[in-house]
Amino acid sequence: MSISLRSRFWRMVLRRMFKNQKTTIVALRANSANNSKMLGKVSKTTQVERVDIDGIQAEWLKPLSASQVKVILYLHGGGYVTGSIEDHRMMCGLLAESAGVKVLIPEYRLAPEYPFPAALDDSLKVFHWLLAHGYLPKNIVIAGDSAGGGLSLAVVLALKEKNAPLPAAVMCLSPWADLALTGQSHTTKAKAEVILSKDVLHEWALCYADESNRTNPLVSPVYGDFQGFPPLLIQVGSEEILLDDSTLLAEKARSAGVDVTLKIWDGMWHVWQALGNLLPENKKTFEEIGEFVSARFIREK
């Protein structure tokens, strides 16, 4: 299936911006802050509210028509070394509107200043904060993109280890689920990839976890035990080096009896959803997400 001309344009722009460009983490964070000028906007019908969660800064996105009892806990991507509420606000605003629920985005601590398990600990704290404030596990979906997708999986694996209540579902957009970087797509999709490179991912992985810990399931969830895991939606582009993270994750989860929905979007790149309404394809992308979330909440009533 051919992608739209507008998406072809943005794919070219992103390739020129990111592909094979070596940069420091400080520069990455500066770029993230700059990108938030474009990616930090939401519709006038979505309320934005800052909240402090025991020292963790977070933000509510609340569409006017959103359910008051259902929530998506969204963990942003950025390779565990960058990313923020601001550069994910537009995407999460569309997510909230499509699903008809509130979205909560926390600013978990970043590596290398705060390596594993800081991001996981912060995310678990936010999940338990939701429970303490009256949100039922069956009314919570945990979601994330890239590293945030992997972190979403790790949160549920950690909860499962402790026999704690699990969310209604998990949703991953282009998840980075294998920090050991073993997937064949790192080679087979290297030329097609628009944004990432294996060398850069290796550098970020070592900022987050040391070499000996990269196959720890709470670092690389693809190595985890998915028995009893909640329903899982995975969206991934066909042209990204993390494609195998998604296909291996889906295979592993299905073999454990998990209800898995894997959607491979032909011609799309790593976390294309972040460009929101700038891409015609995202109308269907977010409809797909909204349908999944709505179905899980209805089923869990």
As averages over each run of 10 residues, the pLDDT of the chain (301 residues) reads 89 85 82 78 89 97 92 98 94 95 97 98 98 97 98 98 97 98 97 94 97 97 98 98 98 98 97 94 96 80 42
Task: Tell me the β-bridge partners of 237.
Answer: 265
* The pLDDT value given to residue 41: 83
Task: State the pTM of this model.
Answer: 0.96
pLDDT score recorded for residue 27: 86
* Per annotation, catalytic residue among 84, 270, 281, 300: 270
Establish whether 146 is a catalytic residue: yes
pLDDT of residue 299: 56
Query: Hey, where are the domains in the chain?
Result: 5-299
Q: Catalytic one among 240, 246, 281, 300?
A: 240
- The hierarchical CATH code for the domain 5-299 is 3.40.50.1820
Please give the pLDDT value at position 301.
42
Q: How far is CA 236 from CA 74, 173, 250, 289, in A?
A: 17, 6, 11, 12
Sign of CA dihedral 80, 120, 127, 264: positive
Residue 2's pLDDT is what?
Answer: 78
Rounded distance between C-alpha atoms, residue 283 and residue 116, angstroms: 35
Q: DSSP states of 128-174 as a string?
A: HHHHHTT--GGGEEEEEETHHHHHHHHHHHHHHHTT----SEEEEES
Q: Which of 146, 174, 185, 246 is catalytic?
A: 146
Return the pLDDT at 298.
Answer: 67
pLDDT in the model for residue 136: 97
